[in-house]
């Protein structure tokens, strides 16, 4: 891969130069007031990105996976029942983590390519008259299949069943790129990471807790030390972490949040939708299909593109890397070898995306797929030309 070319993977994403430089800073005393001037703008900025007035924000040196573990260990006890749907690799991995922690997971098996089945969630919750289910897991954007799910509908299912379970949302590849409404959707814990919409290297797990989720920490008995939000709360009150913080990454996050909020979070969301629409029009022009089953579940951060039967989609990713120095994403799990993924999130423009589409076309032509060179690029160009970015 060439460092001169942008990446088109669904994370880590391209880094703006200002963010990279913000991470590259001299050592400071992380227990001095100077660190507080980095920490608190990060907490406030993330809360704004989540569209919340009340979320308790916690930032750990970790990744989204650590955010999952933070969520579970701070709110649940061994043997607690959890409801989840498995519709892709990342929902599967969160379920696996629950099981490794001794939780009892009721799994709704869902075809890969489809969104979360809110109606089935509601049926299970209504049947749970003793309220044994303590939490509902929802993957907002399934990165493996390019599928978004309706979190408002999952909340509606909880409300229709009059069920008190906590609502946990994996927003790793959606938050700071796609519309996310923590307060409006009644989310209890939202999980994301630094390396996607926040345009940073991997290294930060970013979570938002509702008051209800914070209260659950008092009775939860799963082991936790590094990820204990109570220790983090005490540290924040003193402008510090309970251990050495990743100061450079935090300073980068502060700069990233300034950029996102200066652009306007709704404009950021609109930019992602516009770029993703151009990609989808290109895929249609190529005569290919998305893994996502229908337009209502199309992701605005990643497109998983199906290749014809008998063609190994991974060959496109390998060829792009070896011949053109460009990175695309491979298929994962059940769709390995069946799809290749184009990430279109983070620090990205129409012009950058056109270069990725052009590269994908060259690879498919090189590999004999029968795609017409320039067809997808032209479709995206026409859309971008007539739907300019918000000023």
Q: Give domain limits for the chain.
A: 17-262, 265-386
pLDDT of residue 388: 86
d(CA 268, CA 364): 31
pLDDT of residue 1: 64
- Hey, what's the torsion of the CAs at 156, 295, 138, 145, to 10 degrees? 170
pLDDT of residue 88: 95
Rounded to two decimals, the pTM is 0.96
d(CA 67, CA 64): 5
d(CA 48, CA 265): 8
The two three-digit tokens of residue 81, written as one number: 């029942």
Class of domain 265-386: alpha beta
212-250: per-residue pLDDT in tens?
Answer: 999 999 999 999 999 999 999 999 999 999 999 999 999
Spans in the chain with pLDDT lower than 70: 1, 390-391
Indicate if 265-386 has the same CATH topology as 17-262.
Answer: no
pLDDT of residue 391: 55
CA 30 to chain centroid, in Å, comes to 29
- Residue 49 Rama label (left phi>0; alpha psi -120 to 50; beta): alpha
Pick the CATH number of 17-262 from 3.40.50.970, 3.90.550.10, 3.40.640.10, 1.10.10.350: 3.40.640.10
């Amino acid at each position: 891969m060439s460092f001169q070319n942008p990446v088109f993977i669904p994370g880590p994403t391209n880094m703006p130069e200002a963010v990279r430089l913000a991470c590259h800073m001299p050592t400071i005393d992380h227990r001095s007031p100077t660190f507080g001037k980095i920490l608190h703008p990060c907490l406030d900025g993330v809360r704004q990105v989540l569209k919340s007035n009340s979320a308790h924000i916690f930032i750990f040196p970790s990744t989204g996976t650590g955010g999952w573990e933070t969520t579970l260990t701070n709110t649940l006890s061994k043997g607690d029942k959890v409801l989840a749907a498995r519709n892709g690799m990342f929902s599967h991995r969160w379920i696996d983590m629950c099981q490794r922690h001794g939780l009892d997971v009721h799994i709704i098996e869902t075809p890969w390519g489809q969104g979360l089945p809110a109606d089935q969630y509601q049926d299970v919750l209504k049947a749970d008259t003793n309220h044994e289910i303590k939490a509902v897991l929802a993957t907002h954007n399934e990165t493996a299949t390019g599928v978004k799910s309706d979190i408002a509908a999952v909340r509606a299912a909880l409300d229709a069943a009059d069920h008190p379970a906590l609502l946990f949302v994996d927003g790793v590849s959606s938050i700071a790129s796609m519309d996310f409404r923590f307060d409006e959707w009644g989310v209890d814990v939202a999980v994301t990471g630094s390396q996607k919409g926040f345009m940073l290297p991997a290294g930060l797990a970013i979570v938002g807790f509702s008051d209800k989720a914070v209260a659950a920490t008092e009775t939860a008995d799963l082991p936790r030390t590094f990820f204990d939000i109570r220790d983090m709360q005490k540290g924040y009150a003193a402008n510090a972490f309970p251990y050495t913080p990743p100061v450079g990454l935090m300073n980068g996050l502060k700069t990233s949040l300034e950029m996102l909020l200066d652009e306007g979070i709704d404009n950021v969301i609109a930019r992602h939708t516009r770029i993703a629409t151009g990609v989808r029009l290109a895929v249609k022009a190529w005569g290919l299909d998305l893994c996502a089953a229908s337009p209502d579940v199309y992701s605005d951060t990643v497109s998983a593109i199906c290749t014809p039967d008998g063609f190994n989609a991974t060959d496109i990713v390998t060829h792009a890397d070896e011949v053109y120095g460009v990175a695309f994403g491979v298929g994962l799990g059940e769709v390995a070898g069946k799809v290749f993924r184009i990430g279109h999130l983070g620090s990205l423009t129409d012009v950058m995306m056109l270069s990725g589409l052009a590269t994908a076309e060259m690879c498919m032509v090189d590999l004999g797929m029968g795609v017409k060179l320039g067809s997808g690029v032209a479709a995206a160009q026409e859309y971008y030309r007539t739907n300019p970015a918000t000023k």
